[in-house]
Chains A and B, each alone.
Chain A
Amino acid sequence: DIQMTQSPSSLSASVGDRVTITCRASQSISNYLNWYQQKPGKAPNLLIYAASSLQSGVPSRFSGSGSGTDFTLSISSLQPEDFATYYCQQSYITPRTFGQGTKVEIK
């Protein structure tokens, strides 16, 4: 199975900050990497697919980059509604493994 490792596991940031979350795959997955946002008690929501494509309806302050084994999710200016947990997931092969999540908290 492909292992997905996110860093950091949690971070504290202020409204307006730029935030970057990293996801590393245990082997090359090309650009088959997706990012999801999950708020407490809610289902995950797709933000980014194919490493850098913004899902329809997602604010442009979210962006993704990377290929091979190293990927990043960036939020250019953190908004109050962005405090949540973020997960990466590889869609290269099954099982479609997720990272362990990164919790973004208010500083």
Chain B
Amino acid sequence: EVQLVESGGGLVQPGGSLRLSCGASGFTFSNYAMSWVRQAPGKGLEWVSVISASGVTNYADSVRGRFTISRDSSENTLYLQMNSLRAEDTAVYYCARASGSGMGSGYYKTNWGQGTLVTVSS
């Protein structure tokens, strides 16, 4: 059974940093692209970032230059390093597994974690 478990969320001050982790099990982690998607309180889903199985990355404009996605296949873990955090980054952050290894057209998110809440506030 595919399982994704996020951790690392919490309360951080504006301008601060946080690193989220997503532990994966039940599948060959190194074979799949992985994504982060966030949801502000009471709002819709917002795609944040993706990393292919080979390590190619892409970001939403709203986080580019501040967030860094990475993966460690030896630990079966996905990461999201978040720097220069702003109030508008407050959200539940979900990791999701893609249907394949790349970032090309057609890949969709087959499995999601339960999410971890990040609150940016002074």
Instruction: From A1, A91, A100, give the contact of B105 (CB < 8 A).
Output: A91
Closest Cβ–Cβ distance, residue A55 to chain B (whole Å): 8
Q: Which residues of B contact A71 (CB under 8 A)?
A: none
Contact status B45-A32, CB under 8 Å: no
Residue of B whose beta carbon sits closest to that of A48:
B108
Q: Which residues of A contact B112 (CB under 8 A)?
A: 43-45
Contact status A46-B47, CB under 8 Å: no
Closest Cβ–Cβ distance, residue B99 to chain A (whole Å): 7
Instruction: From B44, B60, B107, B115, give the contact of A95 (CB < 8 A).
Output: B60
Q: Which residues of B contact A94 (CB under 8 A)?
A: 47, 50, 58, 103
**For the complex, would chain A's binding face be called helix, strand, loop or mixed by DSSP majority?**
loop
A36-B94 Cα distance, complex, nearest whole Å: 14
A89-B39 Cα distance, complex, nearest whole Å: 14
A30-72, CB < 8 A from B: 30, 32, 34, 36, 38, 42-46, 49-50, 55
Where the two chains meet, the residues of A that have a C-beta atom closer than 8 Å to any C-beta of B are: 1, 30, 32, 34, 36, 38, 42-46, 49-50, 55, 87, 89, 91-101
In the complex, given contacts A45-B112, A46-B109, A97-B47, what are 19 additional A-B residue pairs having Cβ atoms less than 8 angstroms apart?
A34-B109, A43-B112, A43-B114, A43-B115, A44-B37, A44-B94, A46-B110, A50-B106, A55-B110, A87-B45, A89-B108, A91-B105, A91-B106, A91-B107, A94-B47, A94-B50, A94-B58, A95-B61, A101-B45
